[in-house]
Every structure is written in C-alpha cells, then in structure tokens.
Amino acid sequence: CLIIGSITFVFLTSPIVRAYMVGSNLEKRLETSFGVTSANMTGFHQTKPFSFWQMFTGNGAVKIPFTTYHYALHEGVDLTLNFSPSAIPGIRPCLVVVHGGSWKRGDNSEIAAVNNYFANAGYQVATINYRLAPKFHSPASQNDVHAAFTWLRQHATELKIDTTNFVLMGRSAGGQIVLTMAYSGNENGVKGVAAFYGPNDMLWSYEHPDNLLIMDSKLVQRDFLGGSPTEVPDRYIAESPYLHVTPQTVPTLLVHGTIDAHVHYEQTARLAKKLDDYKIKNMLLTLPWATHGCEYNLNGPSGQLSMYSVERFFKAVTGK
C-alpha cells in the first residue's frame, strides 16, 4: 500500500513540480523570443508562470457577457460568432479564436474561459463557428474564417476593433486553421498567431498516423480534405502551414505536450525549427507531462503556463 501510495503521489504531483521547472525560465524565453517582460504587462494578467494556489483560487477573471452574431450564410449553414467585448474601453486589438474537434465536431462554446480571459486582458474577442467535415471539405473552413474577418471589419466601428491589430488563436484542428490563415498572408492586420497542438503538415500527418486504437487519423484527414493525398494533393499542400513558411511569416507561439497521442509533438517541433531557420520570431512551449487538450483547465499547470505565455506574446505583437 505504501508503494502504491508513493507511486500515486508522484504521478499526481509530477505535473506540478515540472510546471515550476518549466516556469523558472519562461519569462526569459519570452523576452528572448518576443522582447516582452513582466515590466511590460499592465492591467489584468497572470503575474507568475505557475502558482500552486491558483489551482484553487482561479485566475481572477470576471465574467464578461458575450453576444452571438450571424456573420455569414454559406451553403445553407448559418455561421455565427460569439463576441466578448474588451474590459478596457476604446479601440482595441481583436483576437479571433477557432475551436478544435478534428474538423468535424465542436463549436465555439468549448473555449469560453479562454475568450473571457482575453476579454479581461483588453482584447475584443471573436470566437467563430465554421462548416464541419465530412459534409464540407477544405477550403470551407478557410473561407469561413475569411468571411468572419470581413464581417468584423464591416462592424469595426460599433465593436471598437482596431482592424490593423488582429491576433489568431486555435487549438487542435483550430490550430491548423489559424496557422493556415495566418501564413497565407491573405488577411491584412494579422500580427501573430498562437496554436495549441495543431497539425501543420498534412502530408507528414498522413504518413505518420495515430494509433488506430485511439483514432483513425487518416480517415479524419480524408473527411476534412475530401480524399487522400493522391486524390486531392493540392488541398494537402494548401492546408499545410509548414509548407508556407516564408521570411514574411508572422510571429508564432506554439504550445504542445510531448505525450500527445492525437497530434504528434514532433510535428510542432518541426515547425518551430523551420521558423527558426527562416528567422521568424517564435517560441515553442513544451509541456513534458501534457497530452491533447492539456490547457482546458486554465488554472491547471498546463493552463497557467499557456496563458502566461500567450498573453505576453499578444502583448509583444500588438503593443497593447
């Protein structure tokens, strides 16, 4: 019993101990990567990379009501976004958030705590719904995000959005969508992108599938892209941000757990290296204990480290 208890204790406390270790040099890494320190942070923000007590007390964000808007009608699908206004008055940067769900499920309610957090931090936050696979294939999700940008610009005055100051954030499939959007260069005013454990090389993903006992990732990709790499090669290339890195690529923050069983950590590490090779401002926050969806609880070890990093990254690229 003592041995079992000791093993259980180590298992449960390991993320906490390692969170302090990861956090010990996090501010220095953010300063090196993006030129931002805690001295630059004002207003609502997380003051420490990780706090044991925050797991119980919360991050202090107050509830900010959101409004649902209809931004487009595509192929009979009424597309909506939830808009959370900035707690700081006046014209503010806009954060566009895209949910995950293997491109075939989920909606913008899954990340309500993230939206609320960044509204507290002074961003106008728009989290969008998009058309889902397998009924709709690429480039449907990209077209929907473009439509959301168009709608936000058209309503920028009433929503107090600085249309020269957008940032993007997505998790899992949403990470792939925002990276693809940011790296395409087709939307003006995008200053940076934060992606959590998102696929970024669809050809590499297809050649390195998940364990079938966990998920048929090849089927997931075929449903999203409308076929295999031999059937629709152009779509695999178009939806692979890894293949579209250029010297003009926007600053990027990547977050990934090394034991992710759904999206291989190696894929994100490859992107970080390519960004380094192109001398693009970037940082990969590696979480050695974390798996897919690790930051869902914003007050857990992964959530705290992630929010600390993302809010400072956004501060650096938006200047707000």
User: What is the per-residue pLDDT across 165-209, written as a single tens digit (0 to 9) for each?
Assistant: 999 999 999 999 999 999 998 899 999 999 999 999 999 999 999
Q: Give 3-state DSSP helix, strand, coil % of the chain, rounded to 5.
A: 45, 20, 40
Judge whether 15 and 298 are in contact, CB under 8 Å.
no
Handedness of CA 44, 45, 47, 53 (dihedral sign): positive
Look at residue 13 in the predicted model and tell me its pLDDT. 52
Residues 6+ apart with CB under 8 A from 24: 49
Residue with tokens 């889902």: 132
Q: Letter for the amino acid at 216?
A: D
Judge whether 99 and 110 are in contact, CB under 8 Å.
yes
- Cα–Cα distance for residue pair 150/99, rounded to 1 Å: 19
Q: Which two tokens stand for residue 305?
A: 């480290």
C-alpha distances out from residue 282 to 87, 205, 313, Å: 28, 22, 9
Q: Model confidence at 111, in pLDDT bands (50, 70, 90)?
A: confident
Chain-centre distance for alpha carbon 284? 12
Domains of the chain plus CATH, in order, are 2-318 (3.40.50.1820)
Q: Measured over all CA atoms, what is the biggest interatomic distance in the chain, rounded to whole angstroms?
A: 64
* Per-residue pLDDT tens digits for 17-63: 999 999 999 999 999 999 998 888 988 899 999 999 999 999 999 99
Confidence (pTM): 0.94
Residue from 162, 155, 89 nearest 122 by CA: 89
Judge whether 25 and 310 are in contact, CB under 8 Å.
no
